[in-house]
A and B are shown apart, each in its own frame.
Chain A
Amino acid sequence: MSDAILKVENLVVTYGRVEAVRGVSFEAAPGSLVTLVGANGAGKSSIINAVSGIVRPRSGTITFEGRDISRMPAHKLVGEGLVQVPEGRQILGSLTIHENLQVGGWHTNDSAAIQDVYARFPVLAERRDLPAGALSGGEQQMLAIGRALVARPRLILLDEPSMGLAPKIVDEVFAVIEEIRSSGTTVVLIEQNARRALRAADHGYVLASGEIAHEGPAADLLADDRVVQAYLGV
Chain B
Amino acid sequence: MQQLLNGLFIGAIYALFAIGFTLVFGVLDRLNLAHPAVFAVSAFVGIELVEVAGLSIWLTLPIVFVVGGILGMVIERVAFRPLKDRPDAHFAGLISSIALAGMFIALLQWRYGPDTRRFPADSFPSTTFTVFGAQVTVVQVAILVISVVLMVALTVLVARSRLGRGMRAVAENPTAARVLGINVDRVTMTTFAISSALGAVAGALFAMNVNSAQLTMGTAIELKGLAVIIVGGMGSLPGALVGGLLLGLAEVFAVQYIGSSWRDLVAFGLLFLILLVRPQGLFGARKVREV
User: Which residues of A come within 8 Å of B, CB atoms?
Assistant: 52, 54, 73-75, 77-79, 83-84, 86, 90-95, 99, 102-104, 106-107, 109, 147, 151
Contact = CB atoms under 8 A, between A and B. Distances in A.
B181 A52 contact: no
A104 B180 contact: yes
Interface of B: 162, 165-166, 168-169, 172-173, 175-184
**Residue from the set A84, A91, A102, A106 with the largest chain B CB neighbour count within 10 Å:** A106
Interface secondary structure of B, over-half rule: helix
A3 B74 CA distance: 46
B178 A75 contact: yes
Contacts of B183: 73, 75
A74 B166 contact: no
Nearest to A52: B179
Contact of A95 (B168, B178, B182, B184): B168
21 contacts: A54-B178, A54-B179, A73-B178, A74-B178, A75-B178, A79-B181, A84-B179, A86-B179, A90-B173, A90-B175, A90-B176, A90-B179, A92-B172, A92-B177, A102-B165, A103-B182, A104-B180, A104-B181, A106-B162, A106-B166, A107-B181
Nearest to B176: A90
A52 B175 CA distance: 12
Contact of A78 (B165, B166, B180): B180
Contacts of B175: 54, 86, 90
B239 to A, nearest CB: 16
B179 A74 contact: yes
The 6 closest A-B pairs by CB, nearest first: A78-B181, A90-B176, A106-B181, A75-B183, A74-B178, A75-B181
Given A74-B179, A86-B175, A102-B165, 12 more contacts: A52-B179, A75-B181, A75-B183, A78-B180, A90-B176, A91-B176, A92-B176, A94-B168, A94-B172, A95-B169, A99-B165, A104-B181
A211 B117 CA distance: 69
B284 to A, nearest CB: 13
Nearest to A157: B179
**Residue from the set A52, A84, A86 with the largest chain B CB neighbour count within 10 Å:** A86
A151 B172 contact: no
Nearest to A107: B181
A56 to B, nearest CB: 12
Contacts of B165: 95, 99, 102-103
Nearest to A77: B181
A70 B251 CA distance: 58
Contacts of A75: 178, 181-184
Contacts of B168: 92, 94-95, 99
A95 B176 CA distance: 13
A106 B176 contact: no
Contacts of B182: 75, 103, 106
A151 B181 CA distance: 9
A92 B178 contact: no
Contacts of A74: 178-179, 181
Nearest to B285: A94
B172 A103 contact: no
A92 B177 CA distance: 9
Nearest to A98: B165
Nearest to A151: B181
**Residue from the set B165, B168, B181 with the largest chain A CB neighbour count within 10 Å:** B181
A86 B181 CA distance: 12
A92 B180 CA distance: 11
B176 to A, nearest CB: 4
Contacts of A106: 162, 166, 180-182
Given A75-B183, A151-B181, A102 B173 contact: no
Contacts of B173: 90, 92
A8 B168 CA distance: 34
A114 to B, nearest CB: 13
Contacts of B162: 102, 106, 109
A74 B83 CA distance: 20
**Residue from the set B165, B178, B179 with the largest chain A CB neighbour count within 10 Å:** B179
Contacts of A99: 165, 168
Contacts of A91: 176
A95 to B, nearest CB: 6
Contacts of A95: 165, 168-169, 172
A78 B179 CA distance: 8
